[in-house]
Amino acid sequence: MSQHDEPLDSGFVADIPKSRELFERLREFHWEYYSALAYQRDKIYDSLKNSLRDRAGPFQFSKWQRTVKYKYALQPLSAKGSLVDPGGRFNIGEIETTRYPVFPALYVASNKGTALAELLGRTSSVGLLTPEEVALTMSDSIAAVSVSGHLEAVLDVREGSNLAAFVTLIKGFRLSRALMLKASRLGFQVDLIGTVAQLIEILHMPQWRNWPSLYDTPAASQIFGRIALDAQIEGILYKSVLTGKPCLAIFHQNFQNSSSYVELDDPAPPELAVRRLDSSNCRTPA
């Protein structure tokens, strides 16, 4: 075995140039794929926004949980952490800022175990422990706070009827024959959304980070979040893929002309500057 044929994880050193070439081709394909669908979305963008806004309604939550990494412990209502590459399920982080404008979201969950599991990304059971229980055993320093609030415009994406009009608008999207051929050559299967069930599945996809992390393009759920944000929707209610419990992605920047708010339930340290987000300060935190 020569120096250039030594195993490296899986494969051989000599295969590295080929792997890099394939990776660059995949990145190029995903950018073309994103651009082709973005062009079609742009042509009906107002209709897409209206289809979601029309299905949004008020939502009140009490004593839900928000968890943040320890460095944000004195800013529990800041969404700075959601901007770190690749962002969150329904917001775009610093993937490639020249192409995809970043926007934050504040994530809360209906119970502490779910909030921890979502933050730490526990995706599977370990032995007899559930993902929720595994999250509770992690050594990471985490701050957890109880929050309550009222939002005027929340879209529940667990409910298919709220997405039917949106799917009707996008199910006619098509890709060029050249792009489909390129996908075939790369061994990439293209499945455009044609049903409500498909959209719900994609919005709750466990591996949503793959696209932004590997190919520098937003995940479908992040693109959906952008449309919801632009529709002046203040929150997306969804199901945790880890525990099955309700979670909420909050677009606090849309509180500006509403009575919506999110606030801490308990007395806070004096150093903590923001205890409540509402129309008076919704654009101040990141």
Compute the distance between CA of residue 261 and CA of residue 38 in angstroms, rounded to an integer.
Answer: 32
Give the per-residue pLDDT at 22. Answer: 77
Compute the distance between CA of residue 205 and CA of residue 143 in angstroms, rounded to an integer.
Answer: 26
Compute the distance between CA of residue 188 and CA of residue 192 in angstroms, rounded to an integer.
Answer: 13
Beta bridge partners of 149: 61, 262
Yes or no: say if 229 and 247 are a contact pair by the CB < 8 Å rule: no
Of 233, 2, 12, 206, the C-alpha closest to 118 is: 206
Which tens digits make up the pLDDT trace of 153-203? 999 999 999 999 999 999 999 999 999 999 999 888 888 999 999 999 999
Band the pLDDT of 8: cuts 50, 70, 90.
Answer: very low
Question: What does pTM read for this prediction?
Answer: 0.87
Residue 284 has pLDDT above 70, yes or no: no
Which tens digits make up the pLDDT trace of 18-72? 577 878 888 899 999 999 999 999 999 999 999 999 999 999 999 999 999 888 8
Give the per-residue pLDDT at 14. Answer: 47
- Percent of the chain at pLDDT exceeding 70: 86
Average pLDDT over residues 11-17: 47
Compute the distance between CA of residue 148 and CA of residue 123 in angstroms, rounded to an integer.
Answer: 27
Rounded to 5 degrees, φ, ψ at 27 are -60, -45
